[in-house]
Chains A and B, each alone.
Chain A
Amino acid sequence: MANVSAVNTSRQRVLESLHHRQPDRVPIDFGGSATTGIHVSCVAKLRDHFGLVKHPVKVIEPFQMLGEVEDDLKLALGVDVTPVLGPRTMFGFANENWKPWSLNGLEVLVPGNFNVTVAENGDTLIYPEGDLTALPSGRMPKGFHFFDAIIRQNHFDPDHLDSSDNLQEFELLSQADLDDIAAKARAAGTGEYATFASFGGTALGDIALVPAISLKDPRGIRDVAEWYVSTRSRRNYIHQVFSRQVEIAIENLQRIYQRIGNSIDVLFLCGTDFGTQTSSFCSVPTFRELWLPYYKQMCDWIHSHTSWKVFKHSCGSSERFYESFIEAGIDIVNPVQCSATGMDPEYLKSKYGERLVFWGGGVDTQQVLPFGTPQEVREQVLRRCRVFSPGGGFVFNTIHNIQAGTPVENIVAMVDALRSFSA
């Protein structure tokens, strides 16, 4: 490969690629964020496969039940990225005081405030902030592997909406929160791995977050359909929510930056999905009116004050928004769902390769990784690396989290293919 830069650490490898320069090998992320992770059951199987110390795996993201990728597993998988998580999980409690829990017979570790009850039909119910006296905000169907949000939509008067209701979960970080973030950034920012931060508060209308499963008494518009409808019929309201949310977010980013400086490399900005399998959730003009100005405001602040790169997740057929993402100042796109309409890898790389980093797109998780043969996995991984890796601008990740039930042989075939590609 021509012009390969000298790289001594995982972090440098990722940074080279983020700056669109060819690193020594394809940089890899597994476990860096809530959309690039591995289900805890698969983490456990991988640890077994590689003969790593046997112990229950920590669930670091309790909604999707993503497992911690510890340093020994990072090494086995070739991972170059490490997460810096915010003070609280999606259910509003902290990742601390770990305790054992059985996930369909697999012993895992969960945070101390991961408090659940079992409903009559066998579903597992989980409570915001771990408060068993509140209404449950998540439900894991019996025998399944992750939680769904329980929609708690209180009555609201459509003629007298108050945007502060939908801003309930967006607050200035407390001193304790800032201390927590600073400690985590310090621990992760040794220079060995690229650091991938998810502080929260910057996602604009992510439908996974709208139900506010961290809150005990969510107010405002919390129902999925009601929210989508509002993006058309109550646009002023959504503008009010987004504009105030972004003010708070920027103030928080400022305060975080004062504490941690450039010790993080990548910021998870937003997980709102704009694509569906064959189309999108809104038109490009709608995106440009309702989202772009707010993304741009946050990205402008970040780029003029920090060296952080901005990461945007959007599933499905999202290509039509890429030009606007670039205009907003987004550096990195994920998960690059190549199986959706208009998401052909060659086309994406040739059109956007110099302006966007593809963090994902490595292997299809709808069919190939869960249901293909190891040979099919291998072939697709090699093909995707050939397309996406030249000139940098690529961090390998599966398309969205590795789902429970994915055969470990297929994950291993993926890792082997990555190794042989870079050899």
Chain B
Amino acid sequence: MANLKKLYDAVLNGDAKTAVAVTQEAIAEKLDPAVLISDTMIPAMAEVGRLYECEEYFVPELLLAARAMKGSLTLLRPLLAASGTKPTGKVVIGTVKGDLHDIGKNLVASMLEGGGFEVTDLGADVSPDKFVSSVRELKPDLLCLSALLTVTAPSMRTTIEALKQAGLRESVKVMVGGAPVTPEFAREIGADGYSENASQAVVTARQFCHPDKAA
């Protein structure tokens, strides 16, 4: 029988090969993918986030864990879709215009995925127009904006304004973060939420997504 403790540990230790192998076993044994995600993957990534917050894990460890998790999720996702299971919520994320810093944004994206969200990553240097068109097309529950340069952070405000003008502001929650972003700045520009780090981002994101969508 598939050893789920082994899967949990594989994610925690960033061992993608083992994570994929155990997931394949689990699939062959017809374990419910939704349960696998909610009972094994999400708790493993939550533990990764905890270790990151208390500085036992750093950027490399978190990236490795995220890869192991993705290896497994890639196998599980088609099954979820087939069974009609909904993700915790739908997220679009990107680093704002003029900013190339994407390490933090990537960690947030991975942790959200690990938290059961369906994440579309638009990359770095994303214009307000691109954010707006993606919101229109993908209809996410949550739009996440990252900025590391104080000189590009104002683009978050511009993006929120652009959403308003497109009549889409009410359709999506906006969460912001990155080194220079503070809760005050987030409020001032009219964002709905802010988090200081990647694992808190998951907690905040959950609060935004409708309970009926919770996995």
Contacts and interface: CB of A to CB of B under 8 A. Distances in A.
Interface of A: 141, 143-144, 148-149, 224-225, 228-233, 276-283, 286, 366-367, 370-371, 403-405
Contacts of B197: 278
Given A141-B97, A403-B151, A229 B179 contact: no
A228 B196 contact: no
Contacts of A149: 100
A232 B14 contact: yes
A280 B103 CA distance: 13
What 9 A-B pairs have minimum CB-CB distances, sorted nearest first? A277-B179, A232-B60, A148-B100, A228-B60, A144-B98, A366-B150, A229-B63, A282-B58, A141-B125
Contact of A231 (B60, B124, B196): B60
Given A148-B125, A282-B58, A225 B150 contact: no
B64 interface: yes
Nearest to A231: B60
Nearest to B61: A232
Given A148-B100, A232-B64, A283-B55, A370 B179 contact: no
Contacts of A283: 55-56, 58
A229 B60 contact: yes
Nearest to A279: B55
Contacts of B180: 277, 366-367
Interface string B94-120: 000110101110100000000000000
Nearest to B60: A232
Contacts of A144: 98
Contacts of A366: 150, 179-180
A191 to B, nearest CB: 38
Contacts of B103: 224-225, 228
B150 A282 contact: no
A279 B56 CA distance: 11
B154 to A, nearest CB: 10
A370 B150 contact: yes
A232 B55 CA distance: 15
Nearest to A315: B179
B98 A141 contact: yes
Nearest to B53: A279
Interface of B: 14, 55-56, 58-61, 63-64, 67, 97-98, 100, 102-104, 106, 124-125, 149-151, 179-180, 196-197
Contacts of B196: 278
17 contacts: A143-B98, A148-B100, A148-B125, A149-B100, A228-B59, A228-B60, A232-B61, A232-B64, A233-B60, A276-B59, A279-B58, A280-B55, A280-B58, A281-B60, A283-B56, A367-B180, A404-B151
Given A148-B125, A233-B64, A371 B150 contact: yes
Given A141-B125, A233-B14, 5 more contacts: A225-B106, A280-B55, A280-B58, A281-B60, A403-B149
Among B67, B100, B149, the most chain A Cβ lie within 10 Å of the Cβ of B100
Nearest to A144: B98
A144 B96 CA distance: 13
Contacts of A229: 60, 63-64, 67
Contacts of B106: 225
Contacts of B97: 141
A232 B16 CA distance: 14
Nearest to B103: A224
B60 A282 contact: yes
A340 to B, nearest CB: 8
A300 B198 CA distance: 40
A16 B74 CA distance: 61
A209 B146 CA distance: 23
A280 B60 CA distance: 11
A147 to B, nearest CB: 9
Contacts of A232: 14, 60-61, 64
Contact of A228 (B55, B63, B100, B151): B63
Contacts of A405: 151
Given A229-B64, A233-B14, A405-B151, A281 B59 contact: yes
Contacts of B124: 148
A366 B178 CA distance: 12
Most chain A C-beta atoms within 10 Å of own C-beta, residue among B55, B58, B103: B58
Contacts of B67: 229
Given A282-B58, A371-B150, A225 B63 contact: yes
A404 B150 CA distance: 12
B151 A276 contact: no
A75 B117 CA distance: 57
Contacts of A286: 58
A280 B52 CA distance: 11
A286 B59 CA distance: 12
A233 B97 CA distance: 32
A232 B151 CA distance: 32
A278 to B, nearest CB: 7
Nearest to B16: A233
A224 B196 CA distance: 22
A134 B62 CA distance: 35
A90 to B, nearest CB: 15
Contacts of A280: 55, 58
Contacts of B98: 141, 143-144
Contacts of B125: 141, 148
A100 B214 CA distance: 58
Given A148-B125, A232-B14, A276 B179 contact: yes
Contacts of A230: 60
Contacts of A276: 59, 104, 179
